[in-house]
Amino acid sequence: MSSPIGVTVLGSTGSVGVSTLDVLGRHPERYRVVALTANQAHDKLFEQCRRFEPQYAVMVQEQAAEALRQRVRAAGIATEVLSGADALSTVAALPQTDYVMAAIVGAAGLLPSLAAAEAGKRVMLANKEALVMSGQLFMDAVSRNGAELLPIDSEHNAIFQCMPDDFPQGLGSVGVRRILLTASGGPFRTTPLAALKSVTPAQAVAHPNWEMGRKISVDSATMMNKGLEVIEACWLFGADTEQVQVVLHPQSVVHSMVQYVDGSVLAQLGNPDMRTPIAHCLAWPERIESGVADLDVFAMSRLDFEPPDLQRFPCLRLAYEARQAGGLMSTALNAANEVAVEAFLDRGMDFLGIPAVIESVLGETVNAAATDLRSILDADAEARQRARRQVRLRKGE
């Protein structure tokens, strides 16, 4: 029997990380956990260390790392605790790691995800910002180092499952007309437009179908999450912007579809549970048990589909525009969004301020080619600075 596959989980205490460990725990003979990482949730990471006994655990915050280090030592767990952002890239590239679950939210996930690609790992990408910020750079790293890139987002994983194996040859050459990227529409799909200004953070994070972290839940409410996914889909599948069409589907049962030139539309359906795409990427090209309940097709009374309202969801329009502009605009888009969402969650800015801040930042951005990592990180920092200035202006400071 072959030795277990070594897996590092970047962002193990988040919703995707927790779901990943649930799937891994169902197959101890097949997988072993090499490293787990978190920002500062040391209590949760300690419990994960106690169960899986990884070789390494990383806490980005040093104070949290020391707290975890003491608890691990007292419990007699043979896990070495590392600290700092650089340690994330270290454990992503370990020789004993075969697969890396890249589930750190936001721009913070870029460097460790890139390190995994450069080390030739199977990169299971849940961090869409890595491709949004550095699409060509990231894809080149995957190709140059013989890495495997598999999408974890339920929509992109669905598209991957519906694509022919030879889609990297070009969508046109394999008969694909367009990608139909589904979106639930979030909690405000039918909310009167006039009421959006008074939306609270608690309302924005209450997603009707999925359990997610606060930041990604707000992105779903603004549909920036779907905008980022449009950009990600273009990179993953070699699609032009016009070939990716967003479709509102409030039931979140059809996770996405691929339309072919012969009139066929292939769709992937399932219960809204991230363990399905996680299990798919862990075992691909095989299939393994995920713990997800079977979809009861007889219980589905209806499946609705409708086009998105760009007046209601201006963030989606801004994402399309950034992708069409190319260069560093997607980097600026992502950075401005992260700052704006944080300001909203801190109750420092109203909900409609999110797209307003992003549009202002994009309008101030001088576009250029995203040729190297330094230019991308500089553009990210500059866009954050402009976004913070816009937030202060909106707050009247």
d(CA 147, CA 145): 6
pLDDT tens digits, residue range 58-75? 999 999 999 999 999 999
- Best CATH choice for the domain 5-151 from the list 3.40.50.150, 3.30.70.580, 3.30.1330.80, 3.40.50.720: 3.40.50.720
How far is the CA of 157 from the CAs of 126, 161, 217, 292, in angstroms? 10, 6, 19, 16
pLDDT at site 209: 66
Q: For residue range 250-269, list pLDDT tens digits in order.
A: 999 999 999 999 999 999 99
Answer yes or no: pTM beyond 0.95.
no
Q: What single string gives the DSSP state of each residue in 15-60?
A: HHHHHHHHHHHT-TTTEEEEEEEESS-HHHHHHHHHHH--SEEEES
Model pLDDT for residues 178-228, shown as the tens digit of each residue: 999 999 998 999 999 999 999 999 999 887 766 677 888 999 999 999 999
* pLDDT(168) > 70: yes
Architecture of the domain whose range is 326-397:
Orthogonal Bundle (1.10)
In the chain, where the domains are located? 5-151, 153-318, 326-397
Query: Tokens 């059809």, residue?
Result: 254
pLDDT category, 301, cuts 50, 70, 90?
confident
Predicted confidence (pLDDT) per residue in 102-153, tens digit: 999 888 899 999 999 999 999 999 988 889 999 999 999 999 999 999 999 9
List, in sequence order, the alpha helices (H) in 180-328: 201-204, 214-222, 224-237, 275-283, 314-325
